[in-house]
C-alpha cells in the first residue's frame, strides 16, 4: 500500500530559484533521514548539483519564451509517497519511487528521489523540475493529477505484489494519513495488467505467453480444458480469458502474439491505468504510452488486393486518420515544422543510436574473446601432460593417433595465445575481472542505448508516415521496422 500526494513548489519571497530549491532538496537529502544519502537517486541530473541543473533549465525556458519568473510560477513539484509500515525495505521503496516519477513524467522531466527511513512508515520525497528536459514546455498541474498519480502508484504496487488501499478516504489530513479517493483494482484488473506486462516480453507462442504469466507474474494457469483460465496466485477462483473483455479474449491474445491485433475500443484495464482521461494512458514500464505510441500507416490498397474485406478497409482508413493526426501532433510537440527539420532530427537520432549499437557490439566482441581465452587456458592445462608426452616421444605418429583428441585440443588452445607471444597470458582471475568490467560498462551503455533506440524509432516511424502522407514512399511499409529495428545481443 502506498499513499501519494502532489505539491506545487513556489519560490518564497526574496529567494532565488536555486536558493528555494536548495532548501527543499537539502531537506529531502538529509543524511539523518536517508542513511547518509544511501537512498537517494536521480534522473538526468546529479544529486549534488540538482538545484543548479533545475535552475539552468528554468533559465533556458525563460529565455526561450522571453519572460521573467513570476511570484506565482511553479519552480518544481514534489510527490510524497508513503508505504505501509513493515511492507517494504528502503532500497525497494526508492526503486519504486524512481519508477513512479519516471512513469508520471514520462521521462520528460529531471527528478530526484529521496527515501526517508526515520519514521515507522518508509516514505519517498520526489522533486521533479517543472520545466521539461529540452526547456520547451512546463508541466501543467492538470485537473485530476492527484488521482492520476495515485493510480500510477497503485499499478506499481500491484506489479510488485504490494497491497493497495481497501477503504480510502479523502480529506485535509496530515501527510502519512492522506489516502485519497480510489477504488481498489479488481482481481481481473490485476490479471489484465499482468497480461500487458507479459506482452512486453514479446512471446512468440501461446505456450510461451502462458509460461511468462506463470513464472514471472504469479498467475496460475489452467489450460487443461476447452478454455484458458487464469487467476492470481493465492486466489480461489479462475477467470476465463474470454471474460476479460476486448483485447484479452483468447482470440485477441493470439492475434496480439502474431502482431495482428488492432485495438479499436477502450482497453478494459484502462479503468485504473488511464490517468486523467486523456493525458497519460496505459503507461508501460519504460515510461512510454501505448495509446500515444505511433503506428505505421497501412497500405490500404495493398491489403484490399490481398483479399481483405470492406470491414477491414473501413477500419484501416480510420486507423490511418488517427495515426496521421498523432504523427503531426508528435512532430509539433518536438518543434519540427518542416520536412528538412525532420530529416535532420532523424539523421541525428540514427547516428546516436547506431553509434551506441556499434559500441555494444564491440564490447560483446571483447567479452566473447575473453570467454574463448578462458576456455583455451583450461583446455591447455587439461591436455598439457598428453602433449608433453607426445613431444618427448619425438612426435611419434602412433602415439599421436592414440592421443589425437588431446593433442588437437592442445594445439587449438595454443593458437589463442599467439597474440601474447613474448608476454604473459592473463590468468583466469584477471580475465574474470576484465569480463566483469566490460559487462558493467555494457549494462550502463544499454541504459542510454534503449532510450536512444526508443527515441529513434519514434522519429523513424513518424518520418515513414510523413513520407506516405506526402506521397514520397509507398514501398516496404510493413517491413520497415524489421529493417530499421536491429537488435544487439543482451
pLDDT of 482 higher than 70: no
- Is residue 110 over pLDDT 90? yes
- DSSP 8-state code for residue 168: -
Provide CB contacts within 8 A for 354, sequence distance 6+. none
Considering 187-196, 205-214, 330-339, the range whose residues carry the highest mean pLDDT is 205-214
Tell me the C-alpha to C-alpha distance, in Å, between residue 114 and each of 24, 110, 146, 152: 11, 14, 20, 19
pLDDT for residue 277 is more than 60: no
Which pTM value belongs to this model? Answer: 0.39
Q: Are 336 and 465 in contact (CB under 8 A)?
A: no
Angle between helices 250-258 and 206-217 (to 10 degrees): 100
- What's the confidence (pLDDT) of residue 308? 67
Q: What is the spatial distance between Cα 158 and Cα 484, in angstroms, rounded to a whole number?
A: 35
Q: How confident is the model at residue 46 (pLDDT cuts 50, 70, 90)?
A: confident
Higher pLDDT, 404 or 335: 404
The dihedral over CA atoms of 195, 199, 204, 210, expressed in degrees to the nearest 10, equals -20
DSSP labels, 303-323 = HHHTT--HHHHHHHHHHHHHH
**Measured distance CA(35)–CA(48) in Å, rounded:** 16
Cβ-count burial 40-60 (b if 16+ within 10 Å, e if not): bbbbebeeeebbebbbbbbee
Task: Give the pLDDT score at 210.
Answer: 92
Report the share of the chain in percent with pLDDT over 90.
Answer: 13
- Name the least confident of 259-263, 355-359, 468-472: 259-263
pLDDT at 173: 45
The per-residue pLDDT for 39 is 94
> Domain 2-159 has what CATH class?
alpha beta
With beta carbons less than 8 A apart as the criterion, state whether 122 and 88 touch.
Answer: yes
Q: Which three cell numbers stand for residue 193?
A: 495488467
CA-wise closest residue to 474 among 465, 483, 482: 465
The DSSP symbol for 29 reads T
Alpha-carbon 119 to chain mean position: 31
Residue 136 C-beta-side C-alpha neighbours within 13 Å: 7
How far is residue 54's CA from residue 111's CA, in Å, rounded to a whole number?
9
Kindly tell me if the per-residue pLDDT of 19 is higher than 70: yes
Residue, of 79 and 290, whose pLDDT is higher: 79
> Model confidence at 472, in pLDDT bands (50, 70, 90)?
low
Tens-digit pLDDT profile for residues 58-78: 888 888 887 777 767 889 999
Q: What is the pLDDT of residue 484?
A: 42
pLDDT at 375: 87
pLDDT > 70? residue 167: no
Could you tell me where the DSSP H helices lie in 162-285? 187-199, 206-217, 250-258, 270-273
**Nearest alpha carbon to residue 219 among 159, 153, 152, 261:** 159
- The answer to whether 443 and 427 have CB atoms below 8 angstroms apart is no
- Parse the chain into domains and list their residue ranges: 2-159, 187-273, 340-484
- Residue 425: what pLDDT? 80
Report the alpha-carbon distance of residue 201 to residue 248 in Å, rounded.
16
Which residues are CB-contacts of 372 (< 8 A; sequence separation ≥ 6)? 416
Please state at what angle helix 145-159 crosses helix 90-105, rounded to 10 degrees.
Answer: 130
pLDDT digits (tens, 9 = 90+) for 338-396: 888 888 988 998 999 889 989 999 998 888 888 888 888 888 888 989 889 988 999 89
DSSP annotation of 457 reads H
Does residue 421 have a pLDDT over 80?
no
183 has pLDDT over 70:
no
Residue 461 in this model has a pLDDT that exceeds 50: yes
pLDDT digits (tens, 9 = 90+) for 171-181: 444 433 433 33
- pLDDT above 70 as % of the chain: 81
Q: pLDDT tens digit string along 116-128?
A: 998 888 999 999 9
Query: Which three three-digit cell numbers place residue 286?
Result: 519504460
**Cell numbers 482508413 correspond to what residue?**
317
The band of 289, judged by pLDDT with boundaries at 50, 70 and 90, is: very low
Averaged pLDDT, 403-429:
82
Taking only the tens place, the pLDDT of each residue in 25-38 is 888 998 889 998 99
- Say if residue 232's pLDDT is above 70: yes
Q: What is the mean pLDDT of the chain?
A: 78
Q: Is the pLDDT of residue 261 over 80?
A: no
Choice between 364 and 144, residue whose per-residue pLDDT is larger: 364
Q: Identify the band that residue 280 occupies on the pLDDT scale cut at 50, 70 and 90.
A: very low
pLDDT at 285 over 50: no
CA nearest neighbour of 182 among 213, 211, 205, 152: 152
Crossing angle between the packed helical segments 339-392 and 404-415, to the nearest 10 degrees:
130
3-class SS of residue 468: helix
What is the predicted pLDDT for the residue at 81? Answer: 92
pLDDT for 34 equals 93
Position 260 pLDDT exceeds 80 = no
Amino acid at each position: 500500500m502506498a499513499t501519494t500526494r502532489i505539491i506545487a513548489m513556489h519560490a518564497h519571497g526574496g529567494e532565488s530559484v536555486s536558493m528555494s530549491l536548495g532548501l527543499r532538496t537539502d531537506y529531502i537529502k538529509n543524511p539523518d533521514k536517508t542513511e547518509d544519502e544511501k537512498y537517494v537517486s536521480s534522473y538526468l541530473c546529479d544529486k549534488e548539483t540538482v538545484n543548479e541543473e533545475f535552475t539552468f533549465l528554468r533559465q533556458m525556458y525563460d529565455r526561450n519564451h522571453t519572460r521573467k519568473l513570476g511570484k506565482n510560477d511553479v519552480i518544481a513539484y514534489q510527490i510524497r509517497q508513503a508505504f505501509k509500515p513493515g511492507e517494504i525495505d528502503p532500497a525497494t521503496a526508492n526503486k519504486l519511487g524512481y519508477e513512479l516519477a519516471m512513469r508520471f513524467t514520462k521521462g520528460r522531466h529531471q527528478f530526484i528521489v529521496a527515501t526517508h527511513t526515520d519514521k515507522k512508515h518508509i516514505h519517498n520525497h520526489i522533486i521533479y523540475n517543472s520545466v521539461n528536459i529540452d526547456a520547451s514546455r512546463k508541466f501543467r498541474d492538470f485537473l485530476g493529477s492527484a488521482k492520476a498519480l495515485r493510480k500510477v502508484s497503485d499499478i506499481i504496487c500491484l506489479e510488485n505484489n504490494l497491497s493497495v488501499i481497501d477503504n480510502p478516504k479523502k480529506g485535509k489530513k496530515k501527510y502519512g494519513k492522506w489516502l485519497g479517493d480510489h477504488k481498489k483494482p479488481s482481481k481481473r484488473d490485476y490479471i489484465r495488467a499482468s497480461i500487458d506486462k507479459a506482452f512486453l516480453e514479446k512471446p512468440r507462442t501461446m505456450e510461451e505467453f502462458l509460461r511468462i504469466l506463470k513464472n514471472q507474474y504469479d498467475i496460475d494457469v489452467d489450460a487443461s480444458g476447452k478454455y484458458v483460465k487464469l487467476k492470481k496466485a493465492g486466489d480461489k477462483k479462475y477467470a476465463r480469458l474470454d471474460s476479460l473483455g476486448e483485447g484479452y479474449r483468447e482470440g485477441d491474445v493470439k492475434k496480439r502474439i502474431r502482431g495482428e491485433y488492432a485495438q479499436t475500443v477502450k482497453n478494459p484495464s484502462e479503468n485504473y491505468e488511464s490517468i486523467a482521461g486523456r493525458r497519460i494512458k496505459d503507461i508501460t514500464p519504460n515510461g512510454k504510452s501505448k495509446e500515444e505510441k505511433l503506428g505505421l500507416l497501412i497500405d490500404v490498397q495493398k491489403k484490399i488486393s490481398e483479399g481483405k474485406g470492406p470491414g477491414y478497409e473501413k477500419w484501416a482508413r480510420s486507423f490511418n486518420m488517427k495515426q496521421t493526426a498523432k504523427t503531426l501532433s508528435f512532430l509539433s510537440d518536438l518543434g519540427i515544422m518542416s520536412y528538412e527539420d525532420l530529416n535532420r532530427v532523424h539523421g541525428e537520432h540514427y547516428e546516436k543510436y547506431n553509434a551506441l549499437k556499434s559500441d555494444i557490439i564491440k564490447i560483446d566482441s571483447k567479452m566473447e574473446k575473453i570467454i574463448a581465452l578462458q576456455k583455451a587456458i583450461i583446455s591447455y592445462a587439461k591436455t598439457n601432460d598428453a602433449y608433453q608426452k607426445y613431444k618427448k616421444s619425438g612426435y611419434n605418429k602412433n602415439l599421436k593417433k592414440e592421443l589425437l583428441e588431446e593433442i588437437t585440443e592442445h594445439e587449438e588452445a595454443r593458437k589463442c595465445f599467439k597474440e601474447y607471444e613474448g608476454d604473459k597470458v592473463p590468468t583466469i582471475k584477471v580475465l574474470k575481472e576484465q569480463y566483469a568490467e566490460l559487462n558493467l560498462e555494457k549494462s550502463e551503455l544499454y541504459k542510454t542505448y534503449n532510450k536512444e533506440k526508443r527515441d529513434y524509432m519514434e522519429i523513424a516511424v513518424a518520418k515513414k508516415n510523413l513520407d506516405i502522407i506526402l506521397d514520397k514512399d509507398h514501398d516496404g511499409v510493413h517491413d520497415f521496422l524489421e529493417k530499421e529495428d536491429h537488435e544487439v545481443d543482451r
